[in-house]
A and B are shown apart, each in its own frame.
Chain A
Amino acid sequence: MTSFDPGVITHNLPDIGHGMLITLGTWAAGVSIGLLLGFVIAVIQLFSGNGMRGLLRIYIELFRGTPFLIQLFLLYYGGPNFGLTLEPMTAGVLGLGLYGSAYFAEVFRAGFQSVPRGHLEAAECLGLSRWQTVVRIQLPQMLVIIVPALTNLIIVLSKETAVLSIVTVPELTFVLTGIGTESFAFVETLLVLCVCYLALVELTSRVGMWAERRLSRFAVR
């Protein structure tokens, strides 16, 4: 067993930095797609009939009921079977977004439901349209309520980006395990890997708590 050699890390610092950037990029892109798609799904669920709602329910349950890794394999390796050939990175971001969208949709749906009925009735009595009620009454109130759940999900997705290494996306885990197997410096590389993710998660959770505090003054009881 060799001694601890920080040189392995310092020599490869540019590569590691690049991997970190890819991790951050895929995470941000995946979260954005997930938030957007999830929100659209939740809004459609509010306005549509039973048939459409059932279809969206199936979509959500399928993505929540199967492992992210399998979804990624289906997209990346199974895609070409129906004419969808994707770069690893594209497949990774898209997969992350689709996976996240099912969870985000549920958070938004719960948020819409958490607005007290009396507020909706009051809005109706005041002559607001259904759409106005959503935009001016339900949305502002629910955004305050769902911040902790959203933060939680965004943190979960930050850790899911590690799975993208399996389909050869050159993100942090991929880069560092690569360096590890080349140099046999597993201790050093895995240590750095842990520290990076812990920092990422801790930072995100602090930002989430800050947002929660800032927004809590708008909460209506």
Chain B
Amino acid sequence: MFNLSVFLQGFPLLFKAALATVGISLAGLLIGFFVAVAVCAARLSDDKAMRALGGAYVFFFRGVPLLVQLLLVYYLLPFVGINVPPLVAAISTCALCSAAYVAEILRGGFLGIPHGQIEAARLLGLSRLDVLQRIQVPLAFRLTLPALGNEMVLLLKASSLVSVVGVAELTRTSQNIAASTYRPLEAYLAAALIYFVINGALSLAAHYAERRLRTA
């Protein structure tokens, strides 16, 4: 039934692959955050065209499954003459997709700031930029932290899909182990365990950051 030694033997390889998974997710999250800031700024801008553009971005990337986005980047870009290595396709797709969600989280954060805070700051003589830097950004960050932590966990799980384009991350490596040992149950259970532990650590870190910020 359950072969413990196959289960345990997979771990050294899987640990290495887990680093790739974490790397892809973190890179995607980080790059995605910058894209998200731009998209969020577009959606909150006074310019109608910019708002529409930001809206279209969010509509597309939240409305199409990540797997399909991955296929788009992987199959379509070579078609127009841009060859992307699987790893680049993986990271950029994760970034573009999470950017849509993070942009909406940030927008919610900025809209959630009580207007009185901004008015008070303006009355105290702070410039527009100062208000943004010292009032809006810190408040929005505190408001959005739980949702951002949640997004981090979702992205880590979603990164399992990049195995489809052959990136040797955690899921792909567990597939390889399953194929070479003929023990899929053990291989995938080991991978599931590692995902679970990483996600648990991420959730704890997010909770800790939330608590620290609340007292700050």
* Chain B binds chain A: yes
Q: Which residues on A are within 8 Å of B, measured CB to CB?
A: 1, 61-62, 65-71, 73-74, 77-78, 81-82, 159-163, 165-166, 173, 177, 180, 186-187, 190, 193-194, 197-198, 201-202
Contact A65 B196, beta carbon cutoff 8 Å: yes
Per the bound structure, the CA–CA distance linking A77 and B182 in Å amounts to 10
B23 at the interface (CB under 8 A from A): no
Question: Counting chain B CB atoms within 10 Å of each CB, which of A70, A173, A193, A194 scores highest?
Answer: A70
Q: How far is the CA of A173 from the CA of B171 in the complex (A)?
A: 20
B188→A70 contact, CB < 8 A: yes
Closest A residue, CB atoms, query B153: A65
Alpha-carbon gap, A201 to B195, bound state (A)? 28
Partner of A81, one of B164, B174, B185: B185
A74 to B68, CA, bound (A): 23
A208 CB to closest chain B CB, in angstroms?
14
Say what secondary structure dominates the interface of chain B: helix
Smallest distance from the beta carbon of B184 to chain A beta carbons, Å? 4
Is the Cβ of B189 less than 8 Å from the Cβ of A67?
no
Closest CB in chain A relative to B144 CB, distance in Å: 17
Task: Chain B residues near A193: list those with CB within 8 A.
Answer: 68, 71
Q: Which residues of B contact A73 (CB under 8 A)?
A: 171, 174-175, 178, 184, 188
* B132-165 to A contact mask, C-beta < 8 Å, 1/0: 0000000000000000000001000111110110
Indicate if the CB atoms of B157 and A66 lie closer than 8 Å: yes
Q: A66 near B192 (CB under 8 angstroms)? A: yes
B184 touches A201 (CB 8 A): no
In the complex, the answer to whether A68 meets B157 with C-beta atoms within 8 Å is yes
Which of A62, A194, A197 has the largest count of B CB atoms less than 10 A from its CB?
A: A194
Contact residues in A for B63 (Cβ distance below 8 Å): 197-198, 201-202
A180 and B68: CB pair below 8 A?
A: no
Query: A201 vs B66: C-alpha distance in the bound complex, in angstroms?
Result: 13
**Residue of B whose beta carbon sits closest to that of A195:** B64
Decide if B185 touches A197 in the complex (CB within 8 Å): no
B208 contacts the other chain (Cβ, under 8 Å)?
A: no
Contact bitstring B3-16, A, C-beta under 8 A = 1, else 0: 00000000000000
Binary CB contact string for chain B from 174 to 209 against chain A (1 if under 8 A, 0 otherwise): 110010000111001101100110011000000000
Contact check, A159 vs B66: say whether CB atoms are below 8 A apart: yes
Q: What is the CA–CA distance of A67 and B170 in the complex, to the nearest angstrom? A: 11
With beta carbons under 8 angstroms apart, the residue of B66, B158, B192 that contacts A74 is B192
Q: What is the minimal beta-carbon distance from A62 to any residue of chain B, in angstroms? A: 7
Does B34 have its Cβ within 8 Å of any Cβ on chain A?
no
Residues of B contacting A163 with CB < 8 Å? 65, 67, 161
List of A residues within 8 angstroms of B188 by Cβ: 70, 73-74, 77-78
User: What are some 6 contacts across the A-B interface (CB < 8 A)?
Assistant: A66-B157, A66-B196, A67-B161, A180-B75, A186-B79, A201-B63
Complex CA gap A71/B157 in Å reads 11
Given contacts A69-B163, A162-B65, A197-B64, contact A78 B72 (CB under 8 A): no
Of the residues A67, A165, A187, contact of B79 by C-beta under 8 Å: A187
* Closest A-B pairs by Cβ, 5 of them: A78-B185, A67-B160, A77-B184, A162-B65, A81-B185
CA distance A61 to B202 in the complex (A): 13
- The CA of A81 and the CA of B189, in the complex, are separated in Å by 12
Q: How far is the CB of B2 from chain A (nearest CB, A)?
A: 8
Q: Closest A residue to B175 by CB, please name it.
A: A73
Report the bound CA distance from A1 to B163 in whole Å. 28
Cβ contact of B189, chosen from A68, A78, A160, A166, cutoff 8 A: A78
Using A162-B68, A190-B72 as known contacts, say yes or no to A70 and B184 having CB atoms under 8 A apart: no
Known: A68-B157, A163-B67. 12 other contacts (CB 8 A): A1-B80, A69-B160, A70-B195, A73-B178, A77-B178, A159-B64, A165-B67, A186-B75, A186-B79, A194-B64, A197-B65, A197-B68
A190 to chain B, nearest CB (A): 6
A66: B residues at CB distance < 8 A: 157, 192, 195-196, 199
